[in-house]
Structure 1
């Protein structure tokens, strides 16, 4: 890689977990999330990062959403959901609840999760400040599906869908019906990419 001047690369599903065994070092929070989407090649070593974590935080900073003290709900339990989980926790969310099909996938993270819900129920979201869909449900291949059944919501609740195709998922449209703010994952995609470039530059002492 050094001869070819490769200073880093991105990793996407389904290889975000598989890549870890090939790396020399995995840094926080990727180590705890268990998923790497950015690899830096520095001084002959392969170093793993999770820039989804930073991309998510940056999008909330940009709209001046205050994570500290908030009540949050995460839909899903995969790598993206865990990145969001640690982003919320590390920035002071008061409570973080998760909707998951398999509770055992969250066992290692139970200390920072307030409650785990199953999908087979209706949800009243009036007390939540932010609800984040981290599943593919509602995305390009499942556009006719809403990840959860929503009974009610407060207009101050932020509906955030990591999917960005279609631009407005059924989940976001439901939020709009209740007068809520909505956001898809396109800006998070850009922000995590900017963070990856920043990491590559810092680790190699040069600008791309």
Structure 2
């Protein structure tokens, strides 16, 4: 009998997760099927009960449920609890356990690109929302020593730093101050929606002061090259889009469910084919 997996969200029809996970199940010879489930906020509690009732072995969680699902689970992983968001749920010994693979997926994608390691890189995160929180907490937990946060509302950046349970040297910056300091950073991470399709001209800050060789990562992958990445590349930066984060967070979820690490290159190719482009 096939095991059932899936993803819940509102909206959800656009999700690429069924394509990559169902291919991974076939490729690994695992008898399982992955579906998308449209769950409205007011139906979340009933949906989780329904998942248990029909024996769903695991599911991903996307907007707008990542925070609200936490009290509905039987157990939540330490990092996910600190972040305050769950994107992966696994059925373990009769209990639904929540995890957050977003930050770990991002860290893995970045580690693949960084030759000198990340722990000593002076780092700037742009944005202070949910994605920034997952990435910031994960980087700090992994030992990255100096991570600053720039946001349009500096108070949100200050709160994010204060909320982090792990020790790190960090300061909250305005966007204008961050623009002045860009040359001081070896790693810059863009976590806002600025530049995401269809608003292709959006840019979170002026990259003019970025120094050559800086690694700049934008978690957006549609488009595959945002205006920020395009302009930073013109100034000699090494660029990375959000495709690697998407693929690695999915691969980590797959591994939590099955104990098998899937072929991430194969996953990436599927997403690229759906997007009709090439990774940067």
TM-score w.r.t. the length of structure 1 is: 0.89
1:37 match: 87
Root mean square deviation of aligned Cα: 2.0
> Secondary structure of 2:143's partner?
coil
Once the two structures are TM-superposed, the CA of residue 117 in structure 1 deviates from its matched residue by 0.8
Query: Residue deviations 1:24-61, cap 9 Å, x none?
Result: 11102111111111111222211110001221121122
Give SS of 1:159's match: strand
Aligned match for 1:99, one of 143, 150, 169: 150
Highest relative contact order (Cα 8 Å, sep 6+), 1 or 2?
Answer: 1
- Return the structure number with greater strand share: 1
Query: Equivalent residue for 2:163?
Result: 108
**Residues 124 and 150 in structure 1, CA contact (< 8 A), matched pair in contact too:** no
Equivalent residue in structure 1 for 2:246, among 184, 189, 194: 189
Structure-1 residue corresponding to 2:174: 118
After the TM superposition, which parts of structure 1 deviate over 6 Å for at least 4 consecutive aligned residues? none
Instruction: Give the structure 1 partner of residue 68 of structure 2.
Output: 18
Show CA shifts across 1:126-163 (max 9, x none): 12111001111111243211111233111121110000
Structure with more of its chain in helix, by fraction: 2
Report the CA distance between 1:113 and its aligned residue.
Answer: 5.2
- When the two structures are superposed, what TM-score results if normalisation uses the length of structure 2? 0.67
Could you give the per-residue CA deviations for residues 63-109 of structure 1, whole angstroms, max 9, x where no partner exists? 24411111000011112111211222123222100012224541312
The structure that has the greater radius of gyration is 2
Distance 1:174 1:88 in 2: 25
